[in-house]
Structure 1
């Protein structure tokens, strides 16, 4: 389970699509829908850098 009290770099290096607040954060950050975010994580993995690169290629 994700510790909601501990946020910062380690927490922001990975995209966790199983937590609603994480989905909200990343969809706003990348400007995509939840479905687009989940598809990107499925294709690129949970690394925020990889997900961002994948979304920019689309």
Structure 2
């Protein structure tokens, strides 16, 4: 039987702010505290591209 085309995989363009490992990874990647990383992710609305841009501005 063919795969169910209505089910989509993970969306790599977003950051799951509710997942500690996502926040930890983002914080390590940008050299930020977990609190600062969580704030940036929330400010960006979970959009990975926007969050990366905001983190670069904070450096």
TM superposition score normalised by structure 1: 0.65
Matched, 1:43 2:43: yes
Deviation at 1:42, TM superposition (A): 2.2
How big is each residue's C-alpha offset from its partner over 1:11-44, in whole Å with a ceiling of 9 and x where there is no partner? x321112111212221122221111111112222
Contact 2:17 2:42 in 1 (8 A): no
Alignment partners' CA distance in 2, 1:34 and 1:42:
12
RMSD: 1.7
Runs of 4+ in 1 over 2 A off after TM superposition: none
Q: Unaligned regions of 5+ residues in structure 2, if any?
A: 1-9
Matches within 5 A, 1:1-58: 10=11, 12-58=12-58
